[in-house]
Amino acid sequence: MTLPVEASWYHTARLDDRTWLITEPHVHPIFSANMHLVLGRDADLLIDTGMGIAPLRPMVDGLRDDPDKPVICLSSHTHVDHIGAAHEFETRLVHPSETDELAKPSPYSLVSADISDALANLFLDAGYEPLWEYLVNAVPTTNYDLDSYAIQPAPATGLVDDGDVIDLGDWQGEVLHLPGHSPGQLGLWHAESGTLFGADAIYDGPLIFSGPGMSVAEYTTSLKRLRDLPVNVVHGGHDPAFDRARMLTIIDSYLAQWGSA
Ligand SMILES: [Zn+2]
Ligand SMILES: [Zn+2]
C-alpha cells in the first residue's frame, strides 16, 4: 500500500494574538495531538511536539517573530504523540516522574499491527474509530520509510512540578500537576486570561484512563481540581478548544462514570 505524500505535514491555526495551534491531520485521531505555541516577549513556549514524523522546528520557527529568541519545549507528559519532536528543542521541560521516558523513549511503530491488542481495544472501548493499517494516512516525503520510525531521545534539561511558573516575560503560566492519564501529566494555567492548557488531563474527546501508568483515583482528584478553576477557554491535548460549561459537562460525565460525582 502506497500512502500519498503530504509535504505540508503540519496544520496551523491562530487561536488568539499570541497562541498557535499546530496539528498533524494525517495522523490517526488517537495519536493526533495538539501542540500549542505561546509567543512571549522574552521567550516562546511550545507545549508538546507531536509524533516526530516530520521536522517540527523549522515550522515552529516560522511562526515566531524572532527565531533567535529562546523557545521552551514543555512536554505535558511522555506519551508517543506528545514528545516526537522534543529532541529538536534545546530547552526541554517535563515532570520529574516522566524523565526516563523522555530520555529513553519506548519503541513505537507506525504499523498498527505492531500495536498490542490490549492497547487497540482500550482505544476502541474509549470510543475512538478503529486503527487504520498505519497510524498515518499519508507520509511527509516521497522516500519516507514507515518502518524506520523511532522516537529520538530528548533528555529533560529542566524539571517542572505543580506550582512552578513558566515565565515568557509578558506571560506567566502556572504548572498544574494533573496525574491520572499519566503519572506526570501537566497542565498549564494562565490565570489572567482564564486559559487552561489541559493537555491529556482534559480535552473534548474520549479520555483515556485505564492503560499502563494510569489511575482513575488520581484522575478523579485532578478533574475535581480543574472543576474549580475559573476557566474561560480550555485548549486540550486533542480535539478543538471548549469553554467552561463544556469542561464541566465533560468532567461531570467522567466523575459519574467513575462513581465519584
Ligand atoms: Zn496521553
Ligand atoms: Zn494524547
Q: What is the pLDDT of residue 198?
A: 98
* CA–CA separation, 21 and 3 (whole Å): 25
Residue 225 Cα to ligand 2 midpoint, Å, equals 20
pLDDT of residue 226 exceeding 90, the answer is: yes
The CA-based angle 250-191-183, given to 5 degrees, is 55
Residue 79 Cα to ligand 1 midpoint, Å, equals 5
Is the domain spanning 11-257 CATH 3.60.15.10? The answer is yes
Q: Summarize pLDDT for 12-49 with one digit per residue, the tens.
A: 999 999 999 999 999 999 999 999 999 999 999 999 99
Residue 200 Cα to ligand 2 midpoint, Å, equals 5
Task: Establish how many alpha carbons lie within 13 A of residue 148's alpha carbon, considering only the half-sphere containing its beta carbon.
Answer: 5
* Domain spans of the chain, in order of start: 11-257
Q: Summarize pLDDT for 228-247 with one digit per residue, the tens.
A: 999 999 999 999 999 999 99
Residue 25 Cα to ligand 2 midpoint, Å, equals 14
Q: Summarize pLDDT for 88-122 with one digit per residue, the tens.
A: 999 999 999 999 999 999 999 999 999 999 889 98
The grid coordinates listed for 189 are 494555567
Cβ neighbours for 155, distance < 8 A, ≥ 6 positions apart? 92, 99, 102, 103
The reply to whether the predicted model has a pTM over 0.95 is yes
Q: What is the pLDDT of residue 1?
A: 66
Residue 182 Cα to ligand 1 midpoint, Å, equals 7
pLDDT of residue 215 exceeding 70, the answer is: yes
Q: Give residue 159's pLDDT band: very low, low, confident or very high (50, 70, 90).
A: very high
Residue 5 Cα to ligand 2 midpoint, Å, equals 24
At 184 the three-state DSSP class reads: coil
* Phi and psi based region of residue 131 (left: phi greater than 0; alpha: psi -120 to 50; beta: remaining): beta
Residue 81 Cα to ligand 2 midpoint, Å, equals 6
From 70-74, 126-130, 185-189, 217-221, the region with the lowest mean pLDDT = 126-130
pLDDT of residue 188 exceeding 90, the answer is: yes
Percentages helix, strand, coil for the chain (3-state, rounded to 5) are 25, 25, 50
Residue 64 Cα to ligand 2 midpoint, Å, equals 25
Q: Determine contact, residues 250/46, Cβ cutoff 8 Å.
A: no
pLDDT of residue 2 exceeding 90, the answer is: no
pLDDT of residue 261 exceeding 80, the answer is: no
* Phi, then psi, of 106 in degrees rounded to 5: -65, 140
Q: What is the pLDDT of residue 260?
A: 72
* Amino acid (one-letter) located at 4: P
Residue 57 Cα to ligand 2 midpoint, Å, equals 20
Q: Calculate the average pLDDT of the chain.
A: 96
Q: What is the mean pLDDT of residues 168-181?
A: 98
At 206 the three-state DSSP class reads: coil
pLDDT of residue 68 exceeding 70, the answer is: yes
Residues whose beta carbons lie less than 5 angstroms from ion ligand 2: 33, 81, 200, 237
Residue located via cell numbers 480535539:
239
Q: What is the pLDDT of residue 101?
A: 97
